Amino acid sequence: MQVNATVPDNDSATAWMAEGNCRNYPPAVFFPSDGVGVDRARKICNQDCPVAETCLEYALEHRIEHGVWGGCSERERRRILKRRKIDVSVG
């Protein structure tokens, strides 16, 4: 049986990606090499991306180190993970 590759796989854990603001930009925009690039990507995420929360949680859960996800840079995600670790051990 042939599968039509243009039909989104709604059962996929990453189906939400098709809804993101970033779908209209080259992927390289979200893997910037400097702070200016990070700001640019962040702005796109923060323009009411409808899946920003899911995107951020996906990156955190999968420990994705590179790129801007859910409006957060690599450094910001590291900070969130660290904070959560502390919260869990304290709580």
Q: Which of 32, 52, 73, 77 binds ligand SF4 (CB under 6 A)?
A: 52
- Coil, helix or strand at residue 72: strand
Task: Determine, following the binding rule CB under 6 A, whether residue 72 of this chain makes contact with ligand SF4.
Answer: no
Amino acid at 34: D
Min CB(5)–ligand SF4 separation in Å: 21
Q: Which of 1, 18, 29, 71 binds ligand SF4 (CB under 6 A)?
A: 71
Part of the chain binding ligand SF4 (CB under 6 A), chosen from 1-9, 32-40, 42-50, 77-85: 42-50
Residue 37 burial (C-beta neighbours within 10 Å; 0-12, 13-18, 19+):
middle
Residue 52 · residue 71 · CB < 8 Å: yes
Task: Determine, following the binding rule CB under 6 A, whether residue 77 of this chain makes contact with ligand SF4.
Answer: no
